[in-house]
Amino acid sequence: MSERCARCGEVGEDRRTLWMACLYAMEELPIPFEERDGGGHSYYTLCVCKACRADWMDAIRRWYQDKPARVSCGSGLFVRRGGATVEITREEWDATHPGREPLVVPPAGAAR
């Protein structure tokens, strides 16, 4: 029976199942994961072709090797991205939240 790759749509016999076990609510991502119960924890799977699995493995390698720069831009504007709190510039805020005023966190030690 042929299966369709969940990522690229290729139809074929030889598929691989990717398992995500990060214990985070992956529903936030627009990815068609199949949720599976694993003894009290949710696991997320995708049935993919070999080429897409290779891309996934390369993405994990890059994620691990390319450490994030954790430098403050000084804006005091924080948003949630992928489960983490990150600081963004006022320009980024205005582009992603048009017409809304942000709540700005004053720098540590600032007068209140």
pLDDT per position as a tens digit, 57-105: 999 999 999 887 777 888 889 998 877 888 899 999 999 999 999 988 8
* 109 found inside a domain: no
Same domain, 78 and 52: no
Same domain, 56 and 73: no
Per-residue confidence (pLDDT) for residue 107, from 0 to 100: 72
Residue 109: pLDDT band by 50, 70, 90 thresholds?
Answer: low
Same domain, 50 and 83: no
> What total of structural domains would you count in the chain?
2
Same domain, 13 and 57: yes
Same domain, 52 and 73: no
Domain that holds residue 51: 3-65
Give per-residue burial for 51-90: e unless 16+ CB within 10 Å, then b.
Answer: ebbeebeeeeeeeeeeeeeeeeeebebeeeeeeeeebbee
* 105 found inside a domain: no
Same domain, 48 and 10: yes
Q: Is the pLDDT of residue 106 over 60?
A: yes
Same domain, 35 and 47: yes
Assessment of whether the complete model's pTM goes beyond 0.75: no
* 41 found inside a domain: yes
Share of the chain above pLDDT 70, in %: 95
| Cα–Cα distance for residue pair 15/47, rounded to 1 Å | 6
| Cα–Cα distance for residue pair 67/63, rounded to 1 Å | 7
